[in-house]
């Protein structure tokens, strides 16, 4: 007979306060589910590494191990700021984006993710203010949260972060506020929104940065994955003080954990100190492979292949959304990158709907994961189009549409009966231009609505009928009084 084995967590009360507050990334949590055979994953941000020519990968890898000289470098500790050869290659590559930096103004990191964490560690004390787009990259929120910042999320529209709302927020924060540290933006094909910041707003952001004295962190993992439209000048090319983050994850492969920070030397000196404490140096082995790949191999050819494949997948997703999604849904039309952002009516909750989606064999990332409060954006979701084949994308969107449609149907019953708390159908129909509802209200309403729908689900159709009838009776009883009032 086997004996039950119970483990008590004896470390619970010893965990640091800041770690207790940290949330696990929804994408990481979905990783296991997403690899199930019967599930089509629209949740990750994974590049299609199967497109990489095996010969190129082999040649770059061999370069790191073939000769004793190469092994003496690739298997050894390296400098904290990264292999000098790689830094020179990265400085060269940035030139065609219009960015001019010297190799000494680059620090190689273990992916751009480490850069986000190092920057926060170097600059953030508890309560310091970071401005981000809202929604923003959830890995950034995770990295920042360890240092207990006060994150202010500024909404975007089709042209990127709303500068009018940023300015309003800056006025609230006040000029010369020592707590205001930096603004973190993803100007190209934003994750999760898919939107790109237009030139005028880029200029305005830099003006505001000078006026209100904050640093700008420009995260650009997707800049070279453009499918339509013209190249936008990076913030870093407009102002050398910008802290620019690059990564090879979306051009080569995230398995080679290699990213970089291009910043003024005074900034890098601080970050270098923090990195020494974190890992002494990044993987020399990865760095040598990456150096050879971008120096000796025609990588642009492979990049073009990525671009062609992703463009087709994006177009497939947009066409499937048009075909299958209900008219209540809207979505962004990214000119590049890997994601688009879907918005459903504000009474929907994509967080709780995820269980139904998984059951139907499709995953996405609920919108609230991308907001600092973990609540805002509950009626939205991020979907990825880079990883699955066009056939799977179409099927995934068809499945997702069905899940949404099933929920909407239930809500429609309530809306028709005028019984959906927090949602006035007549008022919604009357206002052509929808005034944005304050986020707190949307959150409160969607929580209430969710509960109503859950109760209905737990009951049966008969109970819904009874509820509807009760609502109708109440409306009829109220009608004469309303008429008299008119």
Contacts with ligand PLP, residue ranges (CB under 6 A) = 45, 111-113, 137, 139, 186, 191, 219, 221, 247, 249, 254, 259
Report the residue number, 78 or 337, with the smaller CB distance to ligand PLP.
337
CB within 8 A of 335, min separation 6: which ones?
189, 196, 226, 227, 228, 229
Give the Å distances, CA to CA, from 442 to 357, 362, 380, 439.
22, 26, 12, 5
Place of tokens 């949602």: 423
Q: What is the DSSP string of 198-266?
A: -HHHHHHHHHHHHHHT-EEEEE-SSTT-B-SSPPPPPHHHH-TTSEEEEESTTTS-TTS--EEEE--HH
Q: How far is the CB of 466 from ligand PLP (least distance, A)?
A: 48
Helix, strand, coil percent values for the chain (each to nearest 5): 50, 10, 35
Report the SS3 class of residue 476: helix
Report the residue number, 135 or 139, with the smaller CB distance to ligand PLP.
139
CB within 8 A of 195, min separation 6: which ones?
156, 157, 158, 159, 160, 189, 332, 334, 341
Report the residue number, 186 or 365, with the smaller CB distance to ligand PLP.
186
- For residues 346 and 206, is the Cβ–Cβ distance under 8 A? no
Q: How far is the CB of 45 from ligand PLP (least distance, A)?
A: 4
List beta partners, residue 216. Answer: 183
User: Which DSSP letter does residue 79 get?
Assistant: -
As a whole number of angstroms, the distance between CA 316 and CA 295 comes to 34
Report the residue number, 78 or 259, with the smaller CB distance to ligand PLP.
259
Report the residue number, 105 or 386, with the smaller CB distance to ligand PLP.
386
Residue nearest to ligand PLP (CB): 111
Report the residue number, 191 or 196, with the smaller CB distance to ligand PLP.
191
Q: How far is the CB of 334 from ligand PLP (least distance, A)?
A: 13
Report the residue number, 43 or 191, with the smaller CB distance to ligand PLP.
191
Q: How far is the CB of 188 from ligand PLP (least distance, A)?
A: 10
Q: How far is the CB of 336 from ligand PLP (least distance, A)?
A: 13
Q: How far is the CB of 50 from ligand PLP (least distance, A)?
A: 17
Q: How far is the CB of 244 from ligand PLP (least distance, A)?
A: 12
Report the residue number, 22 or 65, with the smaller CB distance to ligand PLP.
22
Q: How far is the CB of 196 from ligand PLP (least distance, A)?
A: 13
Cis peptide before 192 (omega within 30 of 0): yes
Q: Helices 284-296 and 54-65 meet at what angle, rounded to 10?
A: 130
As a whole number of angstroms, the distance between CA 372 and CA 145 comes to 9
Report the residue number, 182 or 212, with the smaller CB distance to ligand PLP.
182
Q: How far is the CB of 247 from ligand PLP (least distance, A)?
A: 3
Report the residue number, 25 or 343, with the smaller CB distance to ligand PLP.
25
CB within 8 A of 466, min separation 6: which ones?
none
Other Cβ atoms within 10 Å of 420 Cβ, number: 20
Q: How far is the CB of 135 from ligand PLP (least distance, A)?
A: 11
């Amino acid at each position: 007979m086997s004996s039950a084995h119970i483990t008590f967590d004896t470390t619970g009360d010893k965990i640091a306060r800041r770690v207790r507050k940290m949330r696990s990334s929804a994408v990481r949590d979905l990783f296991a589910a997403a690899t199930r055979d019967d599930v089509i994953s629209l949740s990750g941000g994974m590049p299609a590494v199967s497109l990489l020519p095996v010969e190129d990968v082999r040649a770059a890898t061999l370069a790191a191990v073939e000769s004793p000289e190469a092994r003496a470098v690739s298997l050894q500790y390296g400098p904290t700021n990264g292999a000098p050869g790689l830094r020179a290659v990265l400085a060269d590559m940035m030139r065609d984006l219009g960015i001019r930096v010297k190799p000494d103004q680059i620090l190689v990191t273990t992916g751009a993710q480490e850069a986000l964490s190092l920057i926060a560690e170097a600059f953030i004390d508890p309560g310091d203010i970071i401005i981000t787009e809202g929604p923003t990259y959830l890995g950034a929120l995770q990295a920042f949260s360890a240092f207990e910042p006060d994150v202010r999320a500024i909404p975007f529209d089709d042209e990127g972060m709303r500068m009018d709302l940023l300015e309003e927020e800056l006025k609230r924060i006040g000029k010369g506020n020592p707590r205001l540290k930096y603004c973190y933006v993803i100007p190209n094909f934003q994750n999760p929104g898919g939107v790109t910041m237009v030139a005028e707003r880029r200029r305005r952001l830099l003006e505001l940065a000078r006026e209100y004295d904050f640093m700008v962190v420009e995260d650009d993992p997707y800049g070279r994955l453009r499918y339509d439209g013209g190249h936008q000048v990076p913030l870093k090319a407009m102002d050398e003080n910008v802290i620019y983050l690059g990564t090879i994850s979306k051009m080569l492969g995230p398995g080679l954990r290699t990213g970089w920070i291009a910043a003024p030397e005074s900034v890098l000196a601080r970050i270098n100190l923090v990195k020494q404490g974190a890992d002494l140096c990044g993987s020399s082995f990865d760095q040598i492979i990456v150096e050879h790949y971008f120096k000796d191999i025609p990588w642009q050819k492979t990049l073009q292949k990525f671009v062609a494949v992703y463009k087709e997948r994006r177009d497939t997703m947009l066409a499937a959304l048009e075909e299958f999604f209900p008219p209540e849904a809207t979505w962004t039309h990214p000119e590049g990158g890997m994601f688009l952002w879907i918005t459903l009516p504000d009474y929907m909750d994509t967080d709780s709907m995820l269980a139904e989606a998984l059951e139907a064999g499709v995953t996405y990332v609920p919108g609230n994961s991308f907001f600092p409060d973990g609540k805002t954006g509950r009626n939205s979701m991020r979907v990825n189009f880079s990883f699955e084949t066009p056939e799977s994308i179409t099927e995934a969107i068809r499945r997702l549409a069905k899940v949404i449609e099933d929920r909407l149907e239930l809500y429609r019953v309530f809306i028709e009966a005028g019984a959906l708390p927090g949602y006035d159908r007549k008022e919604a129909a009357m206002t052509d231009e929808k005034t944005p509802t304050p986020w707190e209200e949307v959150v409160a309403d969607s929580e209430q609505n969710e509960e109503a729908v859950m109760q209905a689900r737990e009951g049966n159709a008969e109970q819904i009928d009874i509820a509807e009838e009760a609502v109708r009776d109440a409306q009829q009883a109220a009608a004469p009084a309303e008429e008299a009032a008119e």
